Structure 1
């Protein structure tokens, strides 16, 4: 791979954006490699969690403006390019395994959007988030119109998008964007600890929870209660649930524990 590094260890996939000389800005090569990794992960049952991070002292500075400026696309060309991007983005958002973004330094523009596509964001004190699109007369992309309002609410999302102001790690945590803030030197270890904990989780329960939470923001009460009933029936009938109940009744350690 040219613009990313991908590896799997102990059931955890690590996807590292690897253009540190450009602060890991997204170019066409990186987008294609992200697409290929997400496609591979979608059907890989040997991987139970994904970590996305950036090489060097940045998560992702956004789209590579040099590449955008020289693309030479017309309106239909840009629309086709975004449609291709959205294909793998939808697969990432629907991935039936936990996705953890480990963010150090700037997550700007599409870099911020990519982090928002994760289920958890672990950040260092020097992480900075910015919907920077307005600074170049553009609009948020990489799914931000879908993800950000669902996390911070529509009014705050409009503020962050229209102001293009920088949000430091502590404020991002207060807004619900960041789950945890950890020292720079422990960022990767903490992300891996969280990812590895899901080796003991029920893959079926993880998948159903992610799907149900996504559906909840666009569904009514009756729809969500139906989803709950159908999902619970599925998990109650699987071997993992039977084993977990047996362990509980016999006072044995559970198979899954969230690492404190």
Structure 2
């Protein structure tokens, strides 16, 4: 099995856990002005087509998880931010807006191991994961309004689903930075750990997920996402169909036999 070729990120697959590390510390892992958008979307698509992957972990190399948009390019009206209204809108659709669509479609659990500041689009990127584990050095900020722009990458869609409209509204309109402790209180992150424990904790959680029967794991992730936008009756019909699929998979009988064998010990 070949890993995809990446430009600004590193990818490792071990025991069904894929770890994607943003590797542009010189830009504080900015998503624009780098190849990270392409790398993230490439990995998201690869995960969906690789049966050897059960969990995706995302983290950053260096001091930051991701600083989001490249502010220098904004100041110079260059890169992704050059041109008139139509040109900028097209670059957003063909650029950074590919990330939320790609990550929303990932079939396996996604864990963000937030090692440092996750600012602007970097914060939104973390919120696109299913679970966030934060280092004590992590900071979070929906800082778009501070720069006179809006969350153009879908951040307003993700955050209010994560922590509720009122909390998301306050963070978005104030543009303030919260530390890891407050982020946990708000429900943004699941756990806060010391920096040297971050990746180990994220990968331990990933390993627990990856130990589950892989086909049922992917179907369960799909159900969790579909439940957010489906009426109960329609959802139950889908559950019945998915359950029929699971009962006819060899992994189901293997799991049942393991449980019965364990009970005899």
Tell me, yes or no, whether TM beats 0.5: yes
Q: Does residue 251 of the first structure (1) align with residue 251 of the second (2)?
A: no
Q: Are the counterparts in 1 of residues 9 and 20 from structure 2 also a CA contact under 8 Å?
A: yes
- In structure 1, the gaps of 5 or more residues are 254-260
- In structure 2, the gaps of 5 or more residues are 1-5
Which of 2, 9, 12 is matched with 2:14 structurally?
9
Match of 1:66 in 2: 72
What is the alpha-carbon distance in structure 2 between the residues aligned to residue 88 and residue 157 of structure 1? Answer: 20
Distance 1:115-1:88 versus aligned 2 partners, 3 A rule = closer
Match of 2:3 in 1: none
Q: Are the counterparts in 1 of residues 115 and 137 from structure 2 also a CA contact under 8 Å?
A: yes
Q: Are the counterparts in 1 of residues 54 and 217 from structure 2 also a CA contact under 8 Å?
A: no
What is the alpha-carbon distance in structure 2 between the residues aligned to residue 67 and residue 161 of structure 1? Answer: 22
1:1-260 residue pairs with structure 2 within 5 A?
Answer: 1-28=6-33, 29-68=35-74, 69-71=77-79, 72-84=82-94, 85-251=96-262
* 1:192 counterpart SS class: helix
Deviation per residue, 1:71-109 (Å, 9 max, x gap): 322222222222223344322222111111111221000
State the 1:146 CA deviation.
Answer: 2.2
State the 1:174 CA deviation.
Answer: 2.0
What is the alpha-carbon distance in structure 1 between the residues aligned to residue 126 and residue 84 of structure 2? Answer: 29
* 1:122 counterpart SS class: strand
Q: TM-score, normalised by structure 2?
A: 0.88
What is the alpha-carbon distance in structure 2 between the residues aligned to residue 249 and residue 8 of structure 1? Answer: 31
Deviation per residue, 1:147-191 (Å, 9 max, x gap): 111111112111111111112212211222101111111111111
Number of residues of Structure 1 aligned to a counterpart in Structure 2: 253
State the 1:111 CA deviation.
Answer: 0.4
Q: Are the counterparts in 2 of residues 113 and 141 from structure 1 also a CA contact under 8 Å?
A: no
What is the alpha-carbon distance in structure 1 between the residues aligned to residue 195 and residue 187 of structure 2? Answer: 20
Distance 1:105-1:87 versus aligned 2 partners, 3 A rule = closer
Q: What value does the CA root-mean-square deviation take over the aligned residues? A: 1.9
Q: Are the counterparts in 2 of residues 117 and 143 from structure 1 also a CA contact under 8 Å?
A: no
What is the alpha-carbon distance in structure 2 between the residues aligned to residue 88 and residue 165 of structure 1? Answer: 24
Q: TM-score, normalised by structure 1?
A: 0.90
